[in-house]
Copies of this chain bind each other. A is one copy, B any other.
Amino acid sequence: MSTIDPSRLTAESALNRMETGDLTSRDLIRACLDRIDAREDVVRAWAYLDPELALAQADAADERRRAGTAGPLNGVPVGIKDIVDTADQPTENGSRLCAGRRPDKDATLVALLREAGAVIMGKCVTTEFALSAPGKTRNPHDPECTPGGSSSGSAAAVADWMVPLAIGSQTGGSMLRPASFNGVYGLKPTFGTISRAGMSPLSRRLDHPGIFARTPEDLALAARVLMRRDPADKDMRGHAKLGEAEPLDTPPRFAFVRGPAWSRGEADMQGAIEDMVRNLGDMATERNLPSVFETALECHGTIMHGSAAQSLGPYYERDRAGLDPITAERVERGLAVTARDFLDALYLAETMQDALAGFFEGFDAILTPAAPGQAPRDLSRTGDASFNGYWTLMGAPAASVPLLTGADGLPIGVQVICPWGQDARLLRVCRWLADRVGEWR
């Protein structure tokens, strides 16, 4: 038997050990539960966790392994952001207005995880309705710092060795900002490749489910399970499979993009990413985005808030006082968006998408900040999503790779973006970068 603490394993290693009989899912889940026991008082990543339910799933997984019917994630624990419905666990959307809510069925992505044999470990803390009113979670690297949001608990749980994989979602910067602040990998795949059916919606145009992990290979493992067309999500695209990417036999050609949010960045982040780019030498070239991106931040804000007013308007009307004031104010901002401004923003975003397709000619991937800097020392907010929102609007696959270190020794991610549909290639590029640059730890 292995002597390493199983909670430290990647999903890939754990699966290998379970396949060879060196590890059971029960042992793995037990180890993760022990880690959670030891750390949850500090990190507060979980909105709901039932150890017995997790262990029962582990036993069923071990039984399937013996029976030869193990799926590709058999016995691996996955944390689920608490805006994603689970039939066997409450789903409260981070809001008092949904306290005790029990969905009657699993979200499609949860069903896919179960079908692949995963253990649905528990529900991870989200900001209220995946907007910006913070939950209880703290940054595991420094509990005085925000973990980011809205996928706060999912990112923190993966960072703190509580689970090797967790599901989050991003409408603005809710995957890649917490990935950056917590020093883990985050993948926001191409728009429309993972079903949102059974998730609390903010914006059909912008909502992307995503995955947190501690290696790009673990992201790929989960993405292969989750990327599947689902008629229940009307915005899914023809291309909804991870696919295979050739290994990189030559170094990727990177475009380093400061982008329209650059001036919101902190000096340590700016310096660290500039140093990294300099060290990449000929492989990275600085490029400005086409001028149409000048309004990208505003465009994203208009679509996000206009959509949120539609999604959350009924809650707002039923019980404004029951919402966190931060949520209520964002809904109010959205209620003031006109159809005309919304459509202008939508169509302008299409022009940006077309321009981006041309921009990628000559480059394999874009490198750009994932966040303004390290996690702010402020638990009353979840940080600035300006570096992510307009990329969410583009729908291209984007990942945060934990490569940089901030002034206080906290992690800072680098955002890597590939052309639409090139999710598998993106994960290859992330691996290449991690090997070349080295991870922050």
Interface positions, chain A 293-312, Cβ under 8 Å from B, are: 302, 306-307, 309-310
Interface flags, A321-353, vs B, CB<8A=1, else 0: 000000000000011111111111001001000
Interface of A, secondary structure class, is helix
* Interface range for A: 20 to 34
* Residues on B with beta carbons closer than 8 Å to the beta carbon of A204: 343, 347
Quickly give the copy total for this chain. Answer: 2
Bound: A310/B350 CA distance, A: 15
Bound: A340/B333 CA distance, A: 11
Known: A337-B338, A338-B335. A343 touches B234 (CB 8 A): no
Bound: A204/B302 CA distance, A: 19
The 8 Å CB contact of A307, one of B336, B339, B350, is: B339
A313 at the interface (CB under 8 A from B): yes
A323 to chain B, nearest CB (A): 16
A292 to chain B, nearest CB (A): 16
Bound: A338/B334 CA distance, A: 9
Bound: A306/B310 CA distance, A: 15
* Residues on B with beta carbons closer than 8 Å to the beta carbon of A336: 338
Q: Is the beta-carbon distance between B340 and A306 smaller than 8 angstroms?
A: yes
Q: Is the beta-carbon distance between B340 and A309 smaller than 8 angstroms?
A: yes
26 contacts between A and B (CB under 8 A): A234-B350, A238-B238, A302-B339, A306-B338, A306-B339, A306-B340, A307-B339, A307-B343, A309-B338, A309-B339, A310-B339, A310-B340, A310-B344, A310-B347, A313-B340, A334-B340, A335-B338, A337-B338, A337-B339, A338-B338, A338-B339, A339-B339, A339-B341, A339-B342, A342-B342, A342-B343
Q: Using A338-B339, A339-B342 as known contacts, list a sample of 6 further A-B pairs with CB atoms less than 8 Å apart, ordered by residue number in A.
A: A307-B339, A310-B339, A334-B340, A339-B339, A339-B341, A342-B343
Residues of A within 8 A of B (CB): 204, 234, 238, 302, 306-307, 309-310, 313, 334-344, 347, 350
Which 3 A/B pairs are nearest by Cβ-Cβ distance? A306-B339, A339-B342, A310-B343
